[in-house]
């Protein structure tokens, strides 16, 4: 079984986000970029699945310009067998991403697609669900545990009410949550080996996908600065202040 894993290039989660002075976007010049944390967890789970003998190959892919090859090489250094860049000169909306992934599934004859539950830049949490609908295959989202056996995946999902157990028949789409695993540390020898692993580039046109332009972002603004807090002497003063501010 082949496993496809999607990764996205995002501003590193340790970096403080800054909006450009003209409000046209997020400042990325000189900013550290990394693999989306949820996607890194997805890749780690795919690698563990292959190491356990449940998969023959792990293929990592990303959509974007040539700059995303840096994150693809990191994925190869972690242990992925191959990498595919879906070349696009503009940011793709979730539906376009899902359609492109569907074409990759057909090309690679993948038996499992593992994605992060969402990207930390736009927080859409849509691509996995859209892909499952287009592929007409089962899906399991917000997964914190996976057990593969007999052509099925038993998963534990993190939902609002707690934890939910379910079983899906493969092929399937799985999106993962934070508590699934701890991604491995990439060592220098692995980085050197990754330079020799294959990285293929395929355009959206080759996949027969037209990017969606339904959503247009007109302006970016930072959140308002927090007001200075006050210190109260007792519970009565706290209740009075909350009532005065219309919070109680």
* pLDDT for position 98: 95
Q: State percent of the chain over pLDDT 70.
A: 100
**3-18: per-residue pLDDT in tens?**
999 999 999 999 988 9
Q: What is the mean pLDDT of residues 19-30?
A: 87
**35-88: per-residue pLDDT in tens?**
999 999 999 999 999 999 999 999 999 999 999 999 999 999 999 999 999 999
Could you give the domains of the chain? Answer: 2-244 (3.40.50.620)
Element (H, E) at 16: none
* pLDDT for position 217: 82
- Confidence tier at 26 by pLDDT (50, 70, 90): confident
* pLDDT for position 248: 81
Q: What is the mean pLDDT of residues 132-145?
A: 96
Q: What is the mean pLDDT of residues 166-192?
A: 94
* pLDDT for position 21: 86
For 53, the token pair is 């003998």
* pLDDT for position 101: 96
Write the DSSP string, 29-84: TT--EEE-HHHHHHHHHHHHHHHTTS-SEEEEEEEESGGGHHHHHHHHHHT-SEEE
Query: Quick check: bond before 171 cis, omega within 30?
Result: yes
Task: Specify the range with the lowest mean pLDDT, choosing from 74-88, 121-135, 148-162, 216-230.
Answer: 216-230
* pLDDT for position 90: 83
* pLDDT for position 58: 97
The CA distance from 143 to 63, in Å, is: 23
Q: State percent of the chain over pLDDT 90.
A: 77
* pLDDT for position 216: 81
Q: What is the mean pLDDT of residues 98-126?
A: 94
The CA distance from 169 to 237, in Å, is: 58
* pLDDT for position 25: 85
Whether residue 213 is predicted with pLDDT greater than 80 in this model: the reply is: no
User: What is the overall mean pLDDT for the chain?
Assistant: 93
Q: What is the mean pLDDT of residues 29-40?
A: 94
The CA distance from 33 to 69, in Å, is: 12
């Amino acid at each position: 079984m082949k496993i496809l894993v999607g990764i996205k290039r995002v501003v590193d989660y340790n970096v403080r986000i800054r909006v450009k002075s003209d409000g046209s976007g997020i400042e990325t010049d000189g900013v550290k970029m990394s693999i989306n944390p949820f996607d890194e967890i997805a890749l780690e789970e795919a690698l563990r699945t292959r190491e356990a003998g449940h998969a023959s190959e792990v293929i990592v892919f990303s959509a974007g310009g040539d700059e995303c090859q840096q994150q693809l090489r990191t994925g190869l250094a972690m242990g992925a067998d191959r990498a595919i860049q879906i070349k696009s000169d503009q940011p793709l909306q979730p539906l376009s991403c899902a359609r492109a992934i569907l074409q990759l599934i057909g090309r690679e004859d993948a038996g499992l697609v593992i994605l992060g539950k969402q990207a930390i830049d736009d927080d859409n949490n849509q691509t996995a669900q859209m892909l499952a609908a287009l592929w007409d295959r089962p899906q399991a989202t917000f997964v914190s545990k996976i057990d593969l056996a007999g052509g099925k995946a038993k998963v534990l999902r993190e939902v609002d009410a707690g934890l939910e157990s379910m079983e899906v028949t493969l092929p399937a789409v799985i999106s993962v949550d934070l508590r699934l695993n701890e991604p491995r540390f990439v060592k220098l020898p692995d980085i050197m080996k990754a330079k020799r692993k294959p990285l293929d580039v395929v355009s959206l046109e080759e996949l027969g996908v037209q990017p969606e332009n339904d959503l247009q972002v007109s302006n970016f603004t930072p959140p308002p600065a927090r007001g200075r807090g006050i210190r109260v002497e007792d519970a009565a003063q706290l209740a009075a202040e909350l009532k005065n501010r219309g919070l109680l």
